[in-house]
Structure 1
Amino acid sequence: MLRAKTFMTETRARNRWAWIIGLAGGVLGFLIQVLIRKAFEEQLLSKTLPLIPGVFHLTYLKNPGAAFSFFDSNLTSWTLWLRLISMGIIAVVTLLFSRFRKEMILPLQVGLGLLLAGGISNTVEQILYGDIAIYLDWRSPPLPIFNLADIAVRLGSFVTNISILYWLLSTLIRRFR
C-alpha cells in the first residue's frame, strides 16, 4: 500500500512547474493588464506616463490583433483561435509527458509555463474585452508597444526552443557514445 501511495504522489508532482508558472503567470498577467486598462481608461493616468523620460514610458493602447500588433483587427477571431489551439497543444504535450511518467527538464517546464502564462493572459483579456491592453513603450531603442504577456510568450519560446535543442543533442550524444 505504501508503494502505491508513493507512486501516486510522484505522478502528480511531474512537470508541476509548467502548470504553476502557466496558471499563476496567466492570472497575474491578466490582473496587471486589467489594472493598467482601468487606470488609463478612468483617467487616473495620462495617455502616456514617462517612467524614464525619452527611454521608457507606460503608453496605453488597445491591440485587436496578435503580439506586437502583428495582425490587424480583421484577423482577431483567427488569432484568438490560433492562441487557443497553441495553448491546447502545450497543455496536451505537458499532460502526455506526465501520463507516460516522463519528467521534463526544468528549463523546458519553465519555457512551456511562460508560453501558457502569456497565452492565458492575452486570450482571457481578448475574450472579455475584445482586445488586448498593451502598455510597455520602449522609445530608445524604438520598439513596438507590448505587454508582459508578450514578453512571457517570447521568453517562453526562446527557453523552450533552447531546451528542446539541448534535449535532442544530449539524446544523440548518449545514443552514439
Structure 2
Amino acid sequence: MNISKKQSLLMLSVASLFSLAACQSMEQGTGQKASASLESKSGSQAKGEVTFVWQGHDVLINGKFSGLKPNSEQGFHVHEKGDCSSPDAMSAGPHFNPDTKMHGVPDSGMNHAGDMPNIKADANGNATYTAKLHGFAVNTGSTGIVGRAVVVHRDPDDYKSQPAGNSGPRIACGLIK
C-alpha cells in the first residue's frame, strides 16, 4: 500500500485529535464542591446562593434566588473574572469561554463553558434552580470555575445573540469559591 506524505500527515493529525479528545474527556470530578453568594448589582434587589458539585464529567448546579422580577426569566452565566467589585458587575468580564466558542444553548457543544440555562422566577420573584452541565470543572485549572464569578442578568438569555445572549444588565454577582 502506497500512502502519500499528505495522507500520512492527515492520518497523524486525526490520530492526534482523537488522543487530545480522549485526554480531555478523562478529566472528571469526584464530588469537588464550590459555592457562591450573589449580591445585588445595578440597583436591583436580586441575590442568591449557588453550589456546584462535580460528578464525573458533569457539574450539578443548585441555586436559590430572591428579588427577581416576578414571573420572568433571567440569564445566568459563569464569567471570566472573579471580580464583582463594580456596581454593575462589569468587572466580572465576559462569559467564561476557555475553548473560544460562540455563545449558545448550554450543553450543545456549541457554547461558552459559562453558558447556563435561564433562571425562572415565580410570582414572588423567587427561584429554585437545578441544572447538570458539562464543559467546565470545579477546580482552578484552565477549564475550572473556582475563582471566577457567577452572574444573574435582568433579561432572559436568547442563546443566539453574540457575544452574550442579549440578557441585559448584570443584577447579581458572586465569587465562586
TM class, shorter-length = under 0.3
Q: Which has the higher strand share?
A: 2
Q: Higher Cα Rg: structure 1 or 2?
A: 1
Return the TM-score normalized by structure 2: 0.24
Return the TM-score normalized by structure 1: 0.24
Q: Which has the higher helix share?
A: 1
Greater relative contact order, per chain length (Cα 8 Å cut-off, separation 6+): 1
